[in-house]
Chain A
Amino acid sequence: MTINLQQLTALLPLLIVMFTAITVILSISYNRNHFFIAVFSILGFISSFFSLYLLTSIVPIDITGLFHIDSYAILYIGMIIISSISTCIFAYPWLVKYRFNKEEFYLLIIFSTLGAISLIISNHMASFFINIELISLPIFGLIAYSNNEKYSLEASFKYIILSGIASSFFLLGTAWVYSVSGNLGFISLTQILKIASENEQLLVLFGIIMMLFSLFFKLSIVPFHLWTPDIYQGTPLPVLSFFSTVGKISIFTALLHFLSHIADSNNRILYFILSAMTVLSILIGNFMALFQDNIKRFFGYSSISQLGYVLIVLLASDKNYTFSLEASGIYLSSYLFSNIAFFGIIHLISNTNNKKFDHSISSYKGLFWLQPILSSILTIVFLSLAGIPMTMGFIGKFYILSIIIKENLWIMGITFFIGTILGFYSYLRIILNLYLNPSRSLKKDLNIQNYWFYTPSGIVIFISGVILLILGVYPNPLITLVRLSELC
């Protein structure tokens, strides 16, 4: 197994992140310096991000059978790195106040990002499994990071146990598939579904469905969604922004990659399971979001429905496969930016507050009259999630609706319709809340300094808000970017 220079270059983003991780470990063991480690890890991510440019000319490329890098991977790796950078930036002011060890936070983030990046490019069930674990294990620690807070340990334990079960499902599925194919590479899946006899195909199918269930669990698609709101509630906000973007985007990308190998088998059972889950997660996610009072729980349900919409992409047939890749790219990037902006703002508000903030929706009442820019960005985020024109979320919804209409997926159409209307209602409730007369407690408690705008997190929030708006009005650059990665 030799690796030539070209393949090494292709692994460059991964290597840079690894190098950052090692340096951070050494630095922690030598001398703890919070500021240095924060800056260093951010710089590591940034250089890894720019090294993606070197990859554009050499993809697609196979690396040792474990990894396959194509141009789509570059796009998604870029998204993940952006999210990690913003997480580090958001976490810094929070960690400054944190009483215990601060530096390990960055280490965990770096490891998890490492897992996410290699998950996106993995092309083999072994690497697939290991990387899913590599994403999840640091996240256990991250969720429990603020373990002196209410619900935090509970959330962490819930996630550890359920994630372990999901992983065992994955291993079980892999074993079933392996029992027929005798090979763990993804490529073998395509062949095995073509040549295997009917009984064997049933075995393989069972294995695949087991694996899918495990992935769906991580994405919190509906029958496996029950943990989501609890964990969203208990997780500290910077971690949540990481968890709900990096975790979900990378696993969805892996799912997309995984399903592309079995898409042309046109399996009916698989199709049925996929569409049933899509329908359920759109409807239940949106419906449950209606009744939430806690804004973190609300966002948990809302993320279920958002991922439900993007699952529609998987139902498109081979003919429109490239179009659906484009749709998922655009939808996920709008999901990414709205998440960053949302969690950034909520974090900013709760972090600068003296008292404990309970994150109930009514505690944000009248925010607009105290912090106009901040709540305008928040409004844009919600409008984008609801999919109202002139925001980036609308472009994503537009793509999804195009797929529905092009493919004549009528059941999906009706679901989309009902889900979107429910979604409008629930987002509208929160938007309106921002514009009512401010409650007295908010006036008293809210002490965001006016220079929030000049802090790094303020800049990140502002940029992602502006991106949501500008790419919504003029989505060409984004579409060109996504299509560029489709062509090469």
Chain B
Amino acid sequence: MLLSLLIIIPFFSGFFSFFSCRFNKNFPRWIALIGIFCILLVVMQILIQDNYYFFQTGCHPNWDRQLIVPWIPRFGIEFNIAVDGFSIVMLIFSSFLSIIAVLCSWNDIKKNTGFFYLNFMLVLSGVIGVFISIDLFLFFCFWELMLVPMYFLITLWSDQSEKKKIIFAANKFFIYAQTSGLILLSSILLLVFSYYHVTNILTFNYNSLLTQPINKHIEYVVMIGFFLAFAIKMPIVPFHGWLPDTHAQSISCGTIEIIGLLIKTAPYSLLRYNLVLFPFSTKDFAPIAIVLGVISIFYGAFLAFSQTNIKKLIAYSSLSHMGLILIGIYSNNEIALQGVIIQILSNSVSTTALCILSGQLYRRFKTQDMNKLGGLWSCVYWIPGFSLFFSLANLGIPGTGNFIGEFLILFGTFQQFPFICMLVTTGIIFSAIYSLNIIQKIFYGAYKKNFTIFFINKQELWTILALVFVLIFLGINPQKIIDLSYPSIHNFQK
């Protein structure tokens, strides 16, 4: 029952906040915030109730909690949700980041708050649904459910002065995402029908689909389909076209949703589906994926260096880190997979923080162009210091979660692909270059204009401090996360 609450709470709190807008302008925010807190409490409750510190050695994932309700029996589709350690970790983080996003949108969103939080909560329920659904059809539904509200978040609340550009970027996002969705749906159907061909059972159940290996060639095709769908969402280099534009055009809490939550569903799904459903073809495909990952790392880093728009820079740096995550996923090594989880979390925290900071700068200076800013260190309190911290975290200095993630990924990859690992290590140097570039251009140097000195308010300060603490916690004590997700990871990597 607790599991169903995970879907019900965000969904209905979204609708409540939409209708509460009529009574008071502040209600929607509070309802959204309380809703997310409730989700967090439910996740915590599940976490405490189940003892997560044991090894699972069975060859199928053992779900600690599962809820099955028949949905469309004609196709063997069930409303089938379950959690294991990995989902729990992702759930905690997505609700944490959503709280941050709500807080950060607290003063930014002035018009149509009800509709804003409706969309926000719908995106969140889609993300949560992706993390906990075990039925492939259900998974697909949640995968698609995120898109339309996200589209609205991008278009309706961004800075309306550049309307054409915003709509163009949002359309790009939507078309890319729908392409990914269609590919995903077709490959799911292909998988299901070839399973049906072998066993004569029509089912979308993840666990049953695991048991029966299908024809090798079909498996390869389906695997490519899944990979493409997730790679577009992730994004990986040839499919990244939507990210920078979308990212640059949307408001800062919208970007938190995209970078913090939305695109983290892709590596999750890669881990959950690609590695486990198609073990053989994944092995064949791994070199290609790793090459794509390497290209992403360097391409992202180079382009990040040449950007003048802060948000685009963050988007490209995120692209570069996604390449690293992809390499970790396909490195066929347990340590690397643990690193991937840490990296997913800490990368989303650090990029989220950078987005928030850039959003705060944007609110004050009305520009995202780095050339127009400069020498802010002496006229802004707190923001430069935090920016420095998070940029350094982004490039992976020890003590932050990013370091642990990168280290584990590289360590794990080295055993299988030592040369790739060495190549990737040099990528860190490039990320250092662009990180220092942004800091130098914005905060150091001479004044470009005379800005008045300002302080950031307490609420902003606390949200950022929370992110700092999480990042340092991940850096100092990653074992907690690794323990929590170990059984699932162990099952992924056989």
Contacts and interface: CB of A to CB of B under 8 A. Distances in A.
Interface in B179-193: 179, 182, 185-186, 189-190, 193
Contacts of B193: 402, 405-406
A421 B141 contact: no
A424 B171 CA distance: 10
Interface string A443-480: 00000000000000000000000000000001110010
A425 B152 contact: no
B156 interface: yes
Given A401-B185, A405-B186, A424 B174 contact: yes
A398 B178 CA distance: 14
Interface in B24-83: 71-75
Most buried by B among A406, A428, A436: A428
A122 to B, nearest CB: 30
A413 interface: yes
Given A389-B140, A432-B167, A421 B175 contact: yes
Contact of B144 (A388, A417, A431, A483): A388
A428 B174 contact: yes
A398 B193 CA distance: 13
A432 B185 contact: no
Contacts of B175: 421, 424-425
A424 B180 CA distance: 13
A479 B72 contact: yes
B109 interface: no
23 contacts: A369-B112, A383-B148, A388-B144, A388-B147, A388-B148, A389-B141, A390-B141, A401-B185, A401-B186, A402-B189, A402-B193, A405-B189, A405-B190, A405-B193, A417-B186, A421-B175, A421-B178, A421-B182, A428-B171, A431-B148, A475-B72, A476-B71, A483-B74
Contact of B178 (A424, A435, A436, A476): A424
A476 B73 contact: yes
Most buried by A among B72, B75, B152, B178: B178
A20 interface: no
A474 B74 contact: no
Contacts of B170: 432
B320 interface: no
Interface of B: 71-75, 112, 140-141, 144-145, 147-148, 151-152, 155-156, 167, 170-171, 174-175, 178-179, 182, 185-186, 189-190, 193
Given A417-B186, A424-B175, 17 more contacts: A388-B147, A389-B141, A389-B144, A390-B145, A402-B75, A405-B189, A405-B190, A405-B193, A406-B193, A420-B178, A420-B182, A431-B148, A432-B167, A435-B155, A476-B71, A476-B74, A479-B74
Contacts of A421: 175, 178-179, 182
Nearest to A432: B155
A425 B179 CA distance: 11
A366 to B, nearest CB: 11
Name the interface size band of chain A.
20 to 34
A339 B18 CA distance: 28
Contacts of A476: 71-74
Interface string A377-418: 000000100001110000000100110111000000100010
Contacts of A420: 178, 182
Contacts, number: 59
Interface in A350-395: 369, 383, 388-390
Interface of A: 369, 383, 388-390, 398, 401-402, 404-406, 413, 417, 420-421, 424-425, 428, 431-432, 435-436, 474-476, 479, 483
A417 B147 CA distance: 18
Smallest CB-CB A-B distances: 9 pairs: A389-B141, A405-B189, A389-B144, A479-B74, A424-B178, A405-B190, A406-B193, A405-B193, A417-B182
* B interface secondary structure, majority: helix
A305 B280 CA distance: 40
Nearest to B140: A389
Contacts of B145: 389-390
A421 B140 CA distance: 17
A428 B189 contact: no
Nearest to B73: A476
A401 B189 CA distance: 8
Contacts of B147: 388
Contacts of B189: 401-402, 405
Contacts of A475: 72
A474 B77 CA distance: 11
A413 B187 CA distance: 12
A390 B175 CA distance: 19
Contacts of B178: 420-421, 424
Contacts of A417: 182, 186
Contacts of B74: 476, 479, 483
A431 B151 CA distance: 11
A388 B149 CA distance: 12
A389 B147 CA distance: 11
A435 B174 contact: no
B148 A474 contact: no
Nearest to A431: B148
Contacts of B171: 425, 428
A481 to B, nearest CB: 11
A225 B397 CA distance: 64
A65 B394 CA distance: 79
A469 to B, nearest CB: 13
Contacts of B151: 428, 432
Nearest to B190: A405
A425 B174 CA distance: 8
A14 to B, nearest CB: 32
Nearest to B141: A389
A413 B225 CA distance: 13
A401 B187 CA distance: 11
Contacts of A404: 186
A184 to B, nearest CB: 38
A435 B156 contact: yes
A369 B112 CA distance: 9
A390 B186 CA distance: 17
A475 B74 CA distance: 10
Nearest to A405: B189
